[in-house]
Amino acid sequence: ICNYFKLFNDVTYRWISLDNWTYSRTFKTPFDVRKWQKVNLVFEGVDTVAQILINNITLGRTDNMFNRYVSTVFCSEGASVFSSKPFCAEHFQCIQIHIKIGPRVQKEQCSFSWDWGPSFPTQGIWKDVRIEAYNDYHLIYFSLTSFFEKSAQQWSLEIESIFDVVSSKPIAGLVTVNIPKLQTRQTFSVKLQPGEGSIVLLVNINKSSTVEAWWPNGHGKQTGYNMTTTFIMEAGYQIEKSSKAYFRTVELVQEPIPGSPGLSFYFRINGRPIFIKGSNWIPADSFQDRVTYDTLWLLLKSAADANMNALRVWGGGVYEQDEFYDICDEIGIMIWQDFMFACALYPTDQYYLESIRAEVSHQVRRLKSHPSIILWSGNNENEAAIASNWFSIPYADREVYIKDYVMLYVKNIREIVLTEDKSRPFIASSPTNGLESVKEGWVSQNPYDTHYGDTHFYDYSSDCWNWTVYPKTRFASEYGFQSWPSFSTIEKISSTEDWSYTSNFSLHRQHHENGNDQMLQQIGYHFKLPQSTDPIKKLKDTIYLTQVMQAQCIKTETEFYRFSQSEIIKGEGHTMGALYWQLNDIWQAPSWASLEYGGKWKLLHYFAQNFFAPLLPVAYEDKGVLYIYGVSDLHADHKLTLRVVVHSWSSLEPVCTLAKEGVTVKAQSAVPIYKESIDDLLERCRNCTRKSCVITFCLVGEGGLQSPTNHHFLSSLKDAVGLEKSHISASVSQQDDIYIFVLHTTAIAPFVSLDVGSIKGRFSDNGFLMTEQKKVVVFYPWEPTCVEELEKSLTLTSLVDVV
């Protein structure tokens, strides 16, 4: 499997998905099945169209990758539910699973390829399979959701337990819920009905205890409380369930905004409006069995380390494994959870709808205990697909498709979500106009309307430094630009003859039409394209420039969304979310990701650490005037000093410095804090022109409070005057578990990149504008390394090294 991503193997191994496969296992039951009232064979996930047999007897069929399948192989009458032949304990039983490609099925869509991933339509058992045996009753699902009653100022927990009751009569008993740290202990008398019975308990938290709420990353702690739920039923045995109780409320606020048509679209967590900062998550590998806890931890921790507080789990992949949501709970990453429908039209026949209803019930019951999940979303881009007629539906048939859309996402998925989970909001699609879409019959005329809901926006031909091309939307849930992964990432899965930007390999890995050319076009707006006659040097330079371009483009767009959060201009604004496309990669290829396959940070991810910082000054130009906004996610107002420094490209000594003291940056808002015409600034800082100078600026407060240093270019860097070839040196030393890189430069160096090849880890900063002679950067290793290894692997690149 480790070779699957090499060279052209996505084509070479295509035959695998075109064949049928049988998985079989011979085993002996470790217990006497006749002593149990019910014995089930449980599949947590089968991918996807399969026939399941035991001893050549068909138990059932599967056609939904996201469903849980349970077959009763033995019940108290001594016969299989699916056959008249009893299974005895001394029998050797052979499970056979025949997997084949079928008709329209519910499967991970991107396994058939996407514009960032290969076609590896996997088949087989992708989650746990087990045999379980029980008498009387068995706990299938256990979930808890928190609520806060404002009038009583009290937290409560709704605990839902769903059982399979084998007994033909109701079973009575006691349930005790204990949360020691909150001095809360309650006992309930309950009765389980035969069949699938559920118990819903409402536990009021002791008002004399102080409840610490769960907060997103950057806004507070992610406190959870150990809780034990004990079921003692009259049948004689007890079940003890240990879990973590979290307390968090979420509201999706859609209400009128003064001075603007339309409605707001933002999230309130524990009563506090939160600006959503983050990205979109795709499957971390084409082969889900390779996605370990460590894989997930590395990617999610990298998101949190870049000051993100949210990710959108995109609807063309998979519902992630339990550990994914556990980690998000632990580190404060909010999840916008799509259901697995994307960019397609789906059937609404009864058989398919029953399968989807089972899928949605299962996934909501499995996941709703996680405080990290703040939203259920019905699909990815399917409202827009119908509204914009992506599939060339004749006008006469349009109503039929809208009716099918409403049937699937509203009358089935939404209905189940609202029944199963009353603790968080639901939207039918993304992008959507939210309540306006509902008003228009769930498919709005223009789902990209900036006055409502969320938007997806991509523009590869316009100059990305021009902020006026971006939509002043309520919520930007998708936007992005491509880049290539590092040479060290590509090198592992390619050959020497592939190391050219125009090689067959490079063209084959690019799944987005004209993607490689679009990157060069975008680079060309502001940078000189590589001209080296050495093909490998030229490729490395091009890779570097794609990453610089992507980082600078998404920085510009994200900063635009952040500074738009507190203002309405021509009826647009109050932007309260920025989720760029995309966080991670599924394989080694050019894509929109900021984390490469394997977890290495691209320059974009280092930039994200800054443009998502809790305190940030942001600059833009409008009609020859420079504006700087103070953007803050902090919970209190701060009086700060704004430092604006102008450098000429030819000197490490500043041309002029301005310190504006007593600048008030308001809590959780974006306010203008500085305004000056470029002409006045250049006159004040003599010997400066647009082409010869650059502006840097930061905010500094008391008690060590400081923003990252931001920059504003006054011209394209390809036109910069005075940029000199800098010599940058680095010394490396070890300090406990980290490594210190001390850099020295002889001249100003734009976009300084430190790369240690395949050594796993990340730097504290990268891709930066070096305007001082010395800079200290920390390397955090993810695996054991040493000074010698790092020195040997280190490559330092800045813009002037590209020739």
Residues with a catalytic annotation lie at 381, 478
Spatial CA neighbour of 481 closest among 563, 528, 542, 551: 551
The 3-state secondary structure of 769-782 reads: EECCCEEEEEEEEC
Instruction: Compute the distance between CA of residue 578 and CA of residue 562 in angstroms, rounded to an integer.
Output: 8
What is the separation of C-alpha 578 from the centre of its chain, rounded to a whole number of angstroms? Answer: 12
On whether the CB atoms of residues 601 and 766 are closer than 8 A, the answer is yes
Close Cβ partners of 476 (under 8 Å, ≥ 6 residues apart): 454, 455, 457, 557, 561, 575, 577, 578, 579
Give the DSSP per-residue string, 627-693. EEEEEE--SS-EEEEEEEEEEETT-SSEEEEEEEEEEEE-TTEEEEEEEEEHHHHHHHSTT--TTTE
Residue pair 31/133 in contact (Cβ under 8 Å)? The answer is yes
Q: How many CA atoms lie within 13 A of 100 on its CB side?
A: 7
Give the Cα separation of 194 and 3 in Å (integer).
Answer: 51
d(CA 486, CA 483) in angstroms, rounded, equals: 9
- Using CA atoms, how far residue 634 sits from 42, 423, 772, in Å, is 48, 26, 29
For residue 650, give the nearest of 725, 717, 560 by alpha carbon.
725
Task: Compute CA 541 distance to the chain's CA centroid, rounded to the nearest angstrom.
Answer: 29
> For 494-531, b where at least 16 C-beta lie within 10 A, e where not — what string?
beeebbbbebebbeebbbbeebbebbeebbeebbbebe
- Counting Cβ atoms within 10 Å, is residue 300 exposed (0-12), middle (13-18) or buried (19+)? buried
In the numeric block, which tokens belong to residue 613? 């910082």
